[in-house]
Amino acid sequence: MAEHRIGRRVAVVAYVAGLLWLSFVQGGRPECSGAWLSEGSSLSRADILVNVAAYLPLGALLAARGPVTLAGTLRAVLLAAVLGGLLSLFVEAVQACLPGRVSAWSDLLANTTGALVGALLSRLGGHLVGLSRTGRASGLAMHAIAPQPLPALAALTLLAWIAHRTFPWALGLDVGQLRANLAFLRPVLEGAVRLDPWRLASHLAAWLVFGLAIRAFFRPWAPVLRSTAAGAALVLLLQLLGAVPTISLEELAALGIAAVLLSALRLPALEPRLAGVLGVAAFAGVALYELRPGQGSLPGGFSWLPLFGAGNVLGALELGLFFFSYAFACALAVSWRTGNRAGPAAGRASRERAAPPAGGASCGTAAMLIASLAWLCVLEVAQLWIPGRSADLSPPLLAGAGWAIALGLQSRVTGPAAPRSRRSSP
């Protein structure tokens, strides 16, 4: 359909524009005297992570088009890798003329790898979508999975959420590191427990987004509770093994409160309101993150140039994951709400919800997109009166890129369904 092709193209153009901005900003006045595709000063883990992760969404968007067949997959993945490599080659060529940037073959290789992996993940997701829409994956319990695009958007939200909570993805079994990660239990043993209300509320909003995203993925509640418990255990284990301590008493307390709230939300009367609760949790989580006081003085003013972690590449990646997950959760909430209004289809087609009017769905998505970005702009302006914070355009731009990815994925999974098998049921 034409609107799906337009959605993918807009998403690709928006994301490429963001990549170019990040690649060229603060590069200095052009002076073409640097080495092109040099070895660089060092191959740091941070640079590799950032360069691979930055091109993952681009590869996924480029490979989202085409039939879900082996030949179609090979063509799409190859095209995405080539286009991602060509874009990276162009970026490296320009960076050779920017004194503040380094043109390195390692960046080109990492970018191309990211585009390739993103394309493979996109095609794998498209294959699973095709199976769910043709009813040929009963072995995978597809009858328990919600109709598209909810599973695709929920999976996107969960992936970004887990990636952010377990960042920077450096694990180890060092005894000293495990002891440091468990240091938050010392006040409990000493009987001097003090919970930071800001962190507690922030963790609570985050765990509610996690649980409700899983709820949007499944039809019944039984797999929701099992999956939420398993996912929470996995996240806590990764945090416990992480090289950077991130687990805290506030997080454990918030997880317990979220478990109680999710159990209470199982009431049938609350089912139509779950999408709204997800949206409120997403808005509240980003507000708690933005408004929490830091250490230092008031910011000197509003920076119209996005800071993106103030030069810290790992900080920029972590920031991007946080605001991507916020945008994905908002996109999931509005799609879920639209599906609830449409209601389930009847008869033999009860496996899929009746499609809502295209105009109503588009208006709802546009309203949520504008509201979520406007909310970030308001929060950034409010940071002018909060010590230790920096007010700039990074959050709305990152969230806008996240929205571009979510809309590109949604246009893929809500396209025309593959023809159903004509085999009669046994």
Residues 121 and 22 in one domain: yes
Strand partners, 353: 344
Tens of pLDDT, residue by residue over 45-97, are: 778 888 898 899 889 888 877 666 778 888 889 999 999 999 999 998 888 88
Residues 210 and 281 in one domain: yes
| Higher local confidence (pLDDT), 222 or 43 | 222
Among candidate residues 20, 161, 65, the one with its CA nearest the CA of residue 409: 65
- Separation CA 402–CA 396 (nearest Å): 10
Give the 3-state secondary structure of residue 337.
Answer: helix
- Separation CA 124–CA 331 (nearest Å): 21
Give the 3-state secondary structure of residue 344.
Answer: strand
- Separation CA 55–CA 320 (nearest Å): 13
- Separation CA 214–CA 108 (nearest Å): 36
Domain closes at, from 144, 160, 182: 144
Q: Are 160 and 325 in contact, with CB atoms under 8 Å apart?
A: yes
Residues 118 and 149 in one domain: no
Total domain count for the chain? 2
Domain closes at, from 89, 120, 144: 144
Residues 61 and 89 in one domain: yes
Residues 272 and 408 in one domain: yes
Residues 111 and 232 in one domain: no
pTM score of the predicted model: 0.85
Q: Are 302 and 377 in contact, with CB atoms under 8 Å apart?
A: no
Residue that has been written with the tokens 């359909």 in this structure = 1
Phi, psi values for residue 268, rounded to 5°: -55, -35
Of 268-277, 299-308, 351-360, where does the model show the most confidence? 268-277
Domain closes at, from 75, 109, 144: 144
Radius of gyration of the chain (CA): 22
- Dihedral over alpha carbons 341, 346, 351, 354 (to 10 degrees): -40
What residue numbers bound the domain in which 337 lies? Answer: 145-344+352-417
Tens of pLDDT, residue by residue over 1-17, are: 455 566 677 778 878 88
Q: 28: alpha, beta or left, given left = phi > 0 and alpha = psi -120 to 50? A: left
Tens of pLDDT, residue by residue over 181-233, are: 998 888 888 878 889 999 999 999 999 999 999 999 998 888 898 999 999 99
Q: Are 61 and 12 in contact, with CB atoms under 8 Å apart?
A: yes
Q: Are 260 and 225 in contact, with CB atoms under 8 Å apart?
A: no
Residues 99 and 109 in one domain: yes
For residue 392, the 8-state DSSP code is E
Flag the least confident range among 92-101, 338-347, 363-372, 384-393. 338-347
Residues 187 and 309 in one domain: yes
